[in-house]
């Protein structure tokens, strides 16, 4: 599935929509160049559940968790991860067993991520416009149909 995000407002709406239709054990892999909007999508997603405006980027700690209503969101940023095996020191196994996972820059650990993952690839078009490509479970994709028309 593909669609266009025209600006930051659309990007935030997309992150919120993903949160609305997610399941408790979803794994989202956010791919794209620096500045493409991965963290903006993750922030809007997390804010939907936590109602907090203080959502940090996990670039330097590589993992920040957010608890809400008996669940956890695991927000990873693998940009600085040099050795894929080091991800186990970031509680990845525990994350696979409890909560929702958002992974920015997942490429280095893709071989460790279960096949049930939802891949979101963000490509710059011009200015703030982005092309979003999503691969994942059928039910989620069906709920996203017509997103650009909302």
What digits encode the pLDDT tens for the residues 27-67? 999 999 988 889 999 999 999 999 888 887 777 889 999 99
What is the sign, positive or negative, of the torsion defined by CA atoms of 90, 62, 14, 113? negative
Provide the 3-class DSSP secondary structure of residue 32. strand
CATH fourth-level superfamily of 2-149: P-loop containing nucleotide triphosphate hydrolases (3.40.50.300)
pLDDT higher than threshold 60 for residue 150: no
Q: How far apart are CA 105 and CA 108, in angstroms?
A: 7
pLDDT of residue 149: 57
Residue 144: which H helix or E strand, with range?
helix 138-144
pLDDT band at 147 (very low <50, low <70, confident <90, very high): confident
Show me where the domains of the chain are located: 2-149
Band the pLDDT of 139: cuts 50, 70, 90: confident
The CA distance from 103 to 96, in Å, is 12
72: Cα separation from own chain's centroid: 14
Mean pLDDT throughout 95-121? 94
pLDDT computed for residue 70 by the predictor = 84
Share of the chain above pLDDT 90, in %: 69
Cβ-contact 148, 3 below 8 angstroms: yes
Residues paired with 118 in a beta bridge: 28
């Amino acid at each position: 599935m593909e669609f266009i995000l025209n600006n930051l407002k659309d990007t935030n709406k997309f992150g919120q929509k993903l949160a609305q239709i997610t399941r408790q054990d979803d794994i989202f892999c956010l791919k794209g160049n620096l500045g493409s909007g991965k963290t903006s999508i993750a922030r809007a997603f997390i804010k939907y559940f936590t109602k907090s405006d203080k959502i940090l980027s996990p670039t330097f700690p590589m993992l920040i968790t957010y608890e809400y209503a008996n669940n956890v969101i695991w927000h990873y940023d693998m940009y600085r991860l040099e050795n894929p095996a080091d991800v186990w020191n970031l509680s990845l196994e525990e994350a696979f067993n409890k909560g929702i996972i958002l992974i920015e820059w997942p490429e280095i650990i893709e071989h460790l991520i279960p096949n049930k993952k939802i891949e979101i690839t963000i490509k710059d078009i011009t200015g703030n416009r982005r092309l979003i490509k999503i691969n994942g479970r059928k039910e989620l994709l069906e709920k996203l149909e017509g997103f650009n028309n909302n």
